[in-house]
Structure 1
């Protein structure tokens, strides 16, 4: 059920496994859940957009090489381990 809020926000109802919600609340506290979920959704939308860009490029050209994927991961994530498997060129 959605209800409009000032500032362009809306309330929604989301179902998730109890253990996942418990871990989320442990990490964020009850009051930080909305901000955490909002950040996670923003991140996922950005990754989805990146996957679409890669898919469009590969459809028009050729699949990205492992070296190109590694270079992109390095640029996006620096020295930190990439959050996705290196064989997933959409990440």
Structure 2
């Protein structure tokens, strides 16, 4: 991807906070990533508006199904994280296992 230099104005306190966290060499990469994420959010918002225009508001049954799926996903990720913690502690040398 080609790059081009731009001048932007940021609040000094915010810019210095970011620079202190990521270092001066990673500042542009951080800002680029932040802008990319904002663009994703903007596009998702546009998609939601389009979907509501096309299909109307969600029914109670659709909301309930989405909430059930969200809970199932949350459960799956929690179980996966717990398994990873168990796997990591199993590979630790004796006496160095993570406190549970």
Return the TM-score normalized by structure 1. Answer: 0.62
Aligned residue for 1:15?
9
Q: Identify which of 31, 37, 45 aligns with 2:25.
A: 31
**Counterpart for residue 61 of structure 1:** 55
Gaps of 5+ in 2: 79-100
Greater relative CO (CA pairs within 8 A, separation 6+):
1
Shift of 1:42: 0.9
Cα distance in 1 for partners of 2:37, 2:53 equals 24
RMSD: 2.8
Between the two proteins, the alignment pairs up a number of residues equal to: 71
> C-alpha offsets along residues 6-44 of structure 1, whole Å, 9 cap, x if unaligned?
x51000011011110111111111111100011111111
Whose strand fraction is larger, Structure 1's or Structure 2's? Answer: 1
Query: Which structure has the larger Rg?
Result: 2
Structure 1 or 2: larger helix share?
A: 2
Structure 1's consecutive aligned runs of 4 or more residues displaced over 6 angstroms after TM superposition are none
Instruction: Give 3-state SS (helix, strand or coil) of 1:11's partner.
Output: coil
Q: Unpaired runs of 5+ in structure 1?
A: 1-6, 81-91
TM-score by length of 2: 0.57
